[in-house]
Amino acid sequence: MAGSEGRAMVQVMTDHAAPCCVPAPAAGALAAEDAAQLAARFKALADPNRVRLLSLVAAGESGEACVCDLTEPLQLGQPTVSHHLKILVDAGLLAREKRGVWSYYSVLPAALEDLAGALRGFGAVPPALGKDAS
């Protein structure tokens, strides 16, 4: 064979009658729809400004915040903060309530619990994040 000097030819035989390794469904594994929703929430938190926004809203005395309260701590303009807030609302992490011309944002605790629960289920929550508040 031309160009094959010094090379060994190996023929791989496969037995098509042998069953392929089929993994059993893992108990507690996420369904595709749940995984997609969880991924969307984690994607919304993939930006440090959005993580800070969520933290600022959650830490507020009244448990809610207006865009005008959030621009200065982030040192970002109102349109940018509004954009980030919209992403957090669309991901189901914040609720938005219109009051006249202003929108007020509050954290949706159940969404945060879902994220924390998913991480606990993966066994990946750092000890400081996995502690109960009690």
Dig out the tokens for 99 from the structure: 């009051």
* Helices 78-90, 67-74: inter-axial angle, 10-degree rounding: 110
Q: Quote the CA–CA distance of 36 and 40 in Å, as a whole number.
A: 6
- pLDDT for 121: 75
pLDDT 10s per residue in the chain (134 long)? 555 555 555 555 555 555 666 665 566 677 788 888 888 888 999 999 999 999 999 988 888 999 988 999 999 999 999 999 999 999 999 999 999 988 999 999 888 888 888 887 775 545 555 455 44
- pLDDT for 33: 85
Q: In terms of Cα–Cα distance, which of 38, 36, 47 is closest to 122? A: 38
- pLDDT for 32: 83
CATH 1.10.10.10 assigned to 33-122: yes
Q: Where are the beta strands (DSSP E) in 1-130?
A: 64-66, 94-99, 102-107
Q: Are 105 and 93 in contact (CB under 8 A)?
A: no
The domain spans of the chain are 33-122
